[in-house]
């Protein structure tokens, strides 16, 4: 049996230096190999477990990162860097209780750690312990009154709790700190009734990038969202259009949750969504021929395709004025196209930006819009879209055909 070759101190130090350099350069697999080799010699060195854990985290391997940081904590139970990063990794793995425990251990040693408090608040937000999240975010603001992210998150929590005055106060502070924070400005407009015609792209991206990892679980299991299935049932059940479609476009496709039911009746389906993270999840489902992360109108305008099926499930809640959208889609609609979409219901005139930050549209608004954008209404049905605070959001399901 060959014995392991003994390396000199200089050689071991060189492996460590090279591993660190590779880590800094983003050459994570090379860095991983270096740290793993060093751990074969020094298995009880917390710094090696810490560095290797960081590498796994950067590689997106959160399970290995968690195991590696946990081993480091076994060796150095009071090392706040190890504890903090173990908590980060546990949260990424969905172990919110473990993450909360980790951040509390950091705070036991560093009570004024704004970073640990902020991340602890995020954990409470994840598990919908709104009051606990508010308390912790306020502690962050006591330490750092200009912590923009804490102001933004506590504003959101106050909004969920129905405390609109405090939500407005904190959203205003976010905009004061960062005048270019479009998401906070949008929510401020929603809560104060300022007229707005569409949601900023940065707001939509922020919402869904943060939501991507638990999007389907939250939407389907918790909020009982089944709009795509309801639209599909109507498409299948009514004899007002053809049964199968050649080329379809899923506008605001998200994770593919909306387009998936239609893969059996649309020969070739394309998808477009603003959120790169959502698109990456959709890509794994292999239901789209072309899949793009970007602005849906720019995608349609730049396309040479003519589509006979369009789907926009829960998309127009982030657009107020739909006129340009309808006109652009019409330009790429085949003569026998079907355009299916949902809207949140508004009993007044036109459309309105609600306190949720989403738009609702009146039936009359869509009817009038169809009249001058080249569409005719084939069918409309009132429906419940999803739950919010244990109540159903009322909406409308629409089915349009182009005017020939």
Among residues 324, 363, 321, which one has the least CA distance to residue 195?
321
How far is 325 from 200, CA to CA, in rounded Å? 15
Q: Does 231 lie in the same domain as 109?
A: no
Supply the range of the domain harboring residue 165.
Answer: 9-192
Query: Mean pLDDT per 10-residue run, the chain (404 residues)?
Result: 71 94 96 95 95 96 98 97 98 96 97 97 94 98 97 96 96 96 94 90 84 72 90 96 97 95 96 94 95 95 96 96 96 97 96 94 97 96 91 96 93
Q: Does 139 lie in the same domain as 220?
A: no
As for how many domains the chain has, the answer is 2
How far is 258 from 237, CA to CA, in rounded Å? 18
Pairing of strands 333-344, 391-402: antiparallel
CATH of residue 290: 3.40.50.150
Domain-terminating residue out of 192, 223, 254: 192
Q: Does 188 lie in the same domain as 214?
A: no
In a domain, 243, yes or no: yes
In a domain, 277, yes or no: yes
Q: Does 119 lie in the same domain as 66?
A: yes
| 235 in Cβ contact with 284 (< 8 Å) | no
Q: Give, as one character, the DSSP assignment of residue 303.
A: -
pLDDT tens readout for residues 36-59 = 999 999 999 999 999 999 999 999
How far is 331 from 280, CA to CA, in rounded Å? 28
Domain-terminating residue out of 162, 192, 222: 192
Q: Does 30 lie in the same domain as 176?
A: yes
In a domain, 106, yes or no: yes
Beta strand residue intervals within 130-244, DSSP E? none
In a domain, 3, yes or no: no
| Nearest-10 Cα torsion for 58, 60, 61, 65 | 40
Q: Does 214 lie in the same domain as 136?
A: no
Q: Does 160 lie in the same domain as 27?
A: yes
Q: Does 227 lie in the same domain as 170?
A: no
Q: Does 269 lie in the same domain as 158?
A: no
Q: Does 118 lie in the same domain as 85?
A: yes
Q: Does 277 lie in the same domain as 156?
A: no
How far is 391 from 224, CA to CA, in rounded Å? 11
Q: Does 103 lie in the same domain as 46?
A: yes
How far is 262 from 234, CA to CA, in rounded Å? 12
| 350 in Cβ contact with 363 (< 8 Å) | no
In a domain, 251, yes or no: yes
In a domain, 204, yes or no: no
Among residues 386, 402, 379, 390, which one has the least CA distance to residue 345?
386
How far is 123 from 43, CA to CA, in rounded Å? 32
How far is 393 from 283, CA to CA, in rounded Å? 29
Res 1: pLDDT? 46
pLDDT tens readout for residues 206-234 = 888 776 667 777 787 788 889 999 999 99
CATH of residue 41: 1.25.40.10
pLDDT tens readout for residues 125-136 = 999 999 999 999
In a domain, 4, yes or no: no
Q: Could you report how far apart the first and last alpha carbons of the chain are, in Å?
A: 82
SS3 4: coil
Structure tokens at 85: 């990063």
> Over pLDDT 90: what percentage of the chain?
87
In a domain, 48, yes or no: yes
């Amino acid at each position: 049996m060959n014995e392991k070759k003994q390396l000199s101190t200089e050689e071991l130090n060189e492996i460590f230096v090279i591993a660190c350099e590779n880590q800094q350069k983003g050459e994570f697999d090379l860095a991983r190999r270096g740290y793993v080799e060093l751990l074969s010699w020094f298995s009880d060195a917390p710094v090696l477990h810490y560095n290797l854990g960081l590498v796994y985290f950067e590689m997106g391997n959160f399970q290995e990162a968690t195991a590696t940081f946990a081993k480091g904590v076994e060796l150095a139970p009071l090392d706040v860097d190890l504890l903090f990063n173990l908590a980060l990794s546990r949260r990424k793995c969905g172990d919110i209780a473990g993450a909360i425990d980790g951040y509390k251990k950091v705070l036991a040693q560093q009570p004024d750690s704004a970073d640990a408090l902020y991340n602890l608040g995020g954990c409470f937000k994840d598990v919908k312990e709104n009051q606990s999240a508010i308390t912790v975010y306020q502690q962050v603001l006591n330490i750092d009154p200009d912590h923009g992210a804490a102001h933004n998150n506590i504003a959101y929590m106050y909004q969920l709790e129905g405390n609109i005055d405090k939500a407005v106060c904190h959203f205003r502070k976010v905009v004061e700190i960062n005048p270019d924070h479009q998401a906070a400005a949008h929510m401020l407009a929603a809560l104060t009734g300022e007229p707005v015609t569409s949601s900023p792209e940065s707001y939509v991206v922020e919402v869904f990038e943060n939501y991507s990892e638990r999007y389907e679980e939250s939407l389907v299991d918790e909020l009982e969202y089944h709009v795509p299935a309801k639209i599909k049932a109507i498409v299948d059940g009514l004899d007002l259009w053809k049964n199968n479609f050649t080329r379809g476009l899923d506008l605001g496709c998200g994770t593919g949750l909306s387009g998936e039911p239609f893969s059996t009746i649309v020969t070739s389906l394309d998808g477009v969504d603003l959120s790169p993270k959502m698109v990456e999840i959709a890509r794994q489902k292999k239901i789209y021929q072309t899949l793009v992360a970007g602005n849906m109108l720019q995608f349609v305008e730049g396309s040479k395709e003519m589509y006979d099926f369009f789907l926009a499930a829960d998309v127009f809640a982030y657009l107020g004025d739909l006129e340009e959208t309808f006109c652009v889609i019409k330009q790429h609609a085949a003569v026998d196209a079907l355009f299916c979409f949902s809207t949140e219901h508004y009993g007044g005139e036109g459309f309105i930006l609600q306190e949720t930050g989403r738009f609702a549209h009146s039936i009359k608004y869509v009817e009038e819009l169809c009249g001058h954008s080249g569409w005719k209404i084939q069918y409309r049905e009132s429906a419940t879209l999803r739950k919010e605070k244990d109540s159903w959001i009322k909406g409308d399901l629409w089915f349009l055909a182009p005017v020939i």
